[in-house]
């Protein structure tokens, strides 16, 4: 492919390939209304089947389930003495949040930085998720952070997991993060000591570390969850969670599966990537589906070396800025939109969205041979109600004779027996069950108890609703920063948000250092202002009400309007964070060193 062609393809409207305002009146409105009614019917069915919402899952994997959370890549725990020292900045978690923030902290001169990580290396998501076919779903030139700083261009349009993991390791080496890093270690308590103006950090390895600043970089999706299905522990075959892939059992190329009957539970983003590989190697594959994902075109290609060679320094920062600025509309487009009433705009957006979903349906019909299977694979909800997926090989896998879709039409399997999953009275006798059931979503302080001023645990502080400034600071938790949590702006490419958050955290720490502050804490007033901003903008969407249940909408649960993302737009989020840099003495309560 030529550089010009690559450039042309570079900004595909990957998730929203449709023009949101163009879909009016292509067909009679009753066509769209009928589809909307079907969407509502399918959503209601699922809500009725799972009234327990998020409680249908279990992420506290203990007792007989604890093996589902154990590290399958490094089973040996390296012996070491407990640590009792003090560092300036301590990250809980070693994924992209920690890595990209470190780059910004180094710029302001912070030296003693420690990562404490449950896994045996840095990488976070890309340490844990090594399932076959794992890759990012965002264009890699945007998703992988620090490409300018590391002078690196990813090998493919969509980077594969091993390359992303290697990139994480390169960043850690580049910024000297391995020196103080502690792996195979889980933070279990993080407590603020007002008298010392320090955080005390306790771990499951008997450490008692201290840190001036703590950054919760524990990940928006790093704690595996299982559906609460009866009998998981009674299964006599082998089983594991996709985030802890067992290559000892499967073989490094999945070669051991050639005489194995395999079941995969779940058809979300992970399963969509893993199924084609499993279909290639397993003797028999049963794919248990509750609700289908939307499968869009992926359009992957190897990076054109000529294009890569011509990239000028700062190329990634420019791409990121374009994302922040958003699409540029022509005057004609703006004028056309201005003529539409709010109701017309919503209707056009919905109709375009439905057109796109019907195109997704048509693609399924074109690819999948068996009519009943094709029908069952059709998602009946608006685009972006559930995490969209992009793949060229997922749908064709269902044409293979060794692959069977077991569509449970919203119900899920009824139990796991000794010999395999059961649905509709039938037991599927298998050797291996793979749980592609996802992760606990966006919780601050996983595995960990965060105790701030006045001995208040952070989830107790949030008991009447999450309270933060920018999703980053909470009053009463001085020198503590949260990344990738709620009340931050939503971007499909999460590293866009993390980069902005990392910049703000580095600026805050720099501010504290320059002003000889032992601690900084957001004022209750500014925190309240942000909560109100989140509430005001959340009213813009009724996704929770109208979407089929999934992790994007808390499985359809009613939730407080402040317990979600900031929907005021990424551009506005960035502007407000930039503005905050000039007002730090107003947004923070400063605790200064006593004069001698
Ligand atoms: C399979 C998969 C694919 C994804 N693909 C994309 C994509 O294409 N685009 C996109 O934008 N996002 C994607 N994401 C979301 C992804 O999580 C983010 O892109 C990003 O990697 C988050 O980085 P992070 O550092 O915040 O968290 P993580 O990468 O999750 O890292 C957090 C780390 O914290 C550790 N940790 C947690 N609690 C503790 C504790 N108490 N003590 C010690 N360590 C702890 C965890 O072990 C984990 O390694 C994907 C997620 C998954 C699971």
| Position in ligand 1 atom list of the atom nearest CA 448 | 41
Walk along the chain (596 residues) and give the pLDDT tens digit of each residue: 554 455 444 443 344 445 556 654 579 999 999 999 999 999 999 999 999 999 999 999 999 999 999 999 999 999 999 999 999 999 999 999 999 999 999 999 999 999 999 999 999 999 999 999 999 999 999 999 999 999 999 999 999 999 999 999 999 999 999 999 999 999 999 999 999 999 999 999 999 999 999 999 999 999 999 999 999 999 999 999 999 999 999 999 999 999 999 999 999 999 999 999 999 999 999 999 999 999 999 999 999 999 999 999 999 999 999 999 998 888 888 888 889 998 898 899 999 999 999 999 999 999 999 999 999 999 999 999 999 999 999 999 999 999 999 999 999 999 999 999 999 999 999 999 999 999 999 889 999 999 999 999 999 999 999 999 999 999 999 999 999 999 999 899 999 999 999 999 999 999 999 999 999 999 999 999 999 999 999 866 666 678 999 998 888 888 888 999 999 999 999 999 999 999 999 999 999 977 54
Where is 440: in which H helix or E strand? strand 439-440
Nearest to 98 by CA among 187, 5, 219, 252: 219
Domains of the chain, by residue range, sit at 86-223+441-595
**Which residue is closest in CA terms to ligand 1's atom 16?**
125
| pLDDT for residue 528 | 98
Beta carbons within 8 Å of 155's beta carbon, 6+ residues apart: 163, 302, 303
99 alpha carbon – ligand 1 mean position (Å) = 12
d(CA 315, CA 471): 28
| Position in ligand 1 atom list of the atom nearest CA 219 | 27
**Which residue is closest in CA terms to ligand 1's atom 30?**
219
Q: How many Cβ atoms sit within 10 Å of the Cβ of residue 431?
A: 21
Residue 440 structure tokens:
């606990």
Where is 347: in which H helix or E strand? helix 342-367
- Cβ of 323 closer than 6 Å to ligand 1, yes or no, is no
Q: How many Cβ atoms sit within 10 Å of the Cβ of residue 282?
A: 28
Classify strands 187-193 and 113-116 as parallel, antiparallel or unpaired: unpaired
**Which residue is closest in CA terms to ligand 1's atom 49?**
124
Whether the Cβ atoms of residue 394 and residue 402 lie closer than 8 Å to each other = no
d(CA 581, CA 588): 11
d(CA 386, CA 27): 25
User: Exposed, middle or buried: residue 84 (CB in 10 Å: 0-12, 13-18, 19+)?
Assistant: exposed
Residue 248 structure tokens:
């000892």
193 alpha carbon – ligand 1 mean position (Å) = 29
- Cβ of 480 closer than 6 Å to ligand 1, yes or no, is no
- CA angle 379/138/274 to nearest 5° reads 60
**Which residue is closest in CA terms to ligand 1's atom 21?**
125
| pLDDT for residue 21 | 60
Q: How many Cβ atoms sit within 10 Å of the Cβ of residue 292?
A: 21
CA dihedral 135, 137, 142, 145 (to 10 degrees): -50
**Which residue is closest in CA terms to ligand 1's atom 52?**
125
| Position in ligand 1 atom list of the atom nearest CA 484 | 26
228 three-class SS: coil
Beta carbons within 8 Å of 332's beta carbon, 6+ residues apart: none
336 alpha carbon – ligand 1 mean position (Å) = 41
Whether the Cβ atoms of residue 64 and residue 57 lie closer than 8 Å to each other = no
Residue 574 structure tokens:
């960035």
CATH of domain 86-223+441-595: 3.50.50.60
- Cβ of 242 closer than 6 Å to ligand 1, yes or no, is no
């Amino acid at each position: 492919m030529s550089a010009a062609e690559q450039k042309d393809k570079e900004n595909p409207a990957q998730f929203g390939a449709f023009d949101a305002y163009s879909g009016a009146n292509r067909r009679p409105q009753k066509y769209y209304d009928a589809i909307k009614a079907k969407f509502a019917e399918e959503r209601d069915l699922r809500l009725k089947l799972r009234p327990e919402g998020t409680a249908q899952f279990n992420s506290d994997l203990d007792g007989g389930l604890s093996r589902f959370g154990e590290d399958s890549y490094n089973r040996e725990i390296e012996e070491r003495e407990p640590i009792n020292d003090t560092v300036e900045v301590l990250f809980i978690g070693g994924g992209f949040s920690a890595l990209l923030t470190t780059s910004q902290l180094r710029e302001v001169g912070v030296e003693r930085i420690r990562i404490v990580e449950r896994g045996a290396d840095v990488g976070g998501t890309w340490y844990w998720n090594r399932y076959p076919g794992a890759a990012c779903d965002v264009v890699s030139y945007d998703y992988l952070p620090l490409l300018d700083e590391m002078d690196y261009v990813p090998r493919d349009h969509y980077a594969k997991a091993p390359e992303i993991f290697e990139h994480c390791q390169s960043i850690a080496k580049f910024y000297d993060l391995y020196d103080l890093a502690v792996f195979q270690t889980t933070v279990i308590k993080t407590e603020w000591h007002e008298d010392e103006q320090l955080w005390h950090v306790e771990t499951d390895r008997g450490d008692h570390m201290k840190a001036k600043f703590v950054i919760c970089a524990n990940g928006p999706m790093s704690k595996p969850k299982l559906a609460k299905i009866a009998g998981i522990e009674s299964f006599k075959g082998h089983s594991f969670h996709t985030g802890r892939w067992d290559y000892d059992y499967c073989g490094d190329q999945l070669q051991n599966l050639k005489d194995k009957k395999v079941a995969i539970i779940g058809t979300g983003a992970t399963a969509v990537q893993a199924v084609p590989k499993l279909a290639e190697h397993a003797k028999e594959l049963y794919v248990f589906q509750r609700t289908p994902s939307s499968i869009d075109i992926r359009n992957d290609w190897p990076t054109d070396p000529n294009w890569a060679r011509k990239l000028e320094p700062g190329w990634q920062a420019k791409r990121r800025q374009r994302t922040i600025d958003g699409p540029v509309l022509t005057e004609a487009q703006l004028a056309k939109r201005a003529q539409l009433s709010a109701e017309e705009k919503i209707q056009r957006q919905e109709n375009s969205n439905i057109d796109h979903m019907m195109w997704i349906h048509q693609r399924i019909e074109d690819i999948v041979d068996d009519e009943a299977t094709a029908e069952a694979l059709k998602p009946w909800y608006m685009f972006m109600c559930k995490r969209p997926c992009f793949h060229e090989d997922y749908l064709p896998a269902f044409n293979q004779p060794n692959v069977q879709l077991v569509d449970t039409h919203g119900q899920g399997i009824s139990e796991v027996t000794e010999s395999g999953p059961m649905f509709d009275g039938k037991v599927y006798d298998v050797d291996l069950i793979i749980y592609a059931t996802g992760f606990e979503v966006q919780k601050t302080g996983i595995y960990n108890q965060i105790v701030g001023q006045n001995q208040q645990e952070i989830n107790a502080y949030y008991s009447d609703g999450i309270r933060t400034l920018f999703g980053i600071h909470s009053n009463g938790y001085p020198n503590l920063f949260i990344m990738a949590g709620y009340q931050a702006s939503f971007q499909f490419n999460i590293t866009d948000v993390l980069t902005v958050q990392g910049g703000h955290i580095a600026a805050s720490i720099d501010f504290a250092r320059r002003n000889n502050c032992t601690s900084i804490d957001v004022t209750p007033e500014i925190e309240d202002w942000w909560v109100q901003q989140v509430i005001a903008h959340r009213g813009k969407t009724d996704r929770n009400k109208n979407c089929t249940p999934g992790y994007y909408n808390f499985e359809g649960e009613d939730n407080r309007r402040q317990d979600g993302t900031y929907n005021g737009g990424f551009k506005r989020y960035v502007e407000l964070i930039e503005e905050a840099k000039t007002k730090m003495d107003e947004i923070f309560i400063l605790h200064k060193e006593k004069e001698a």
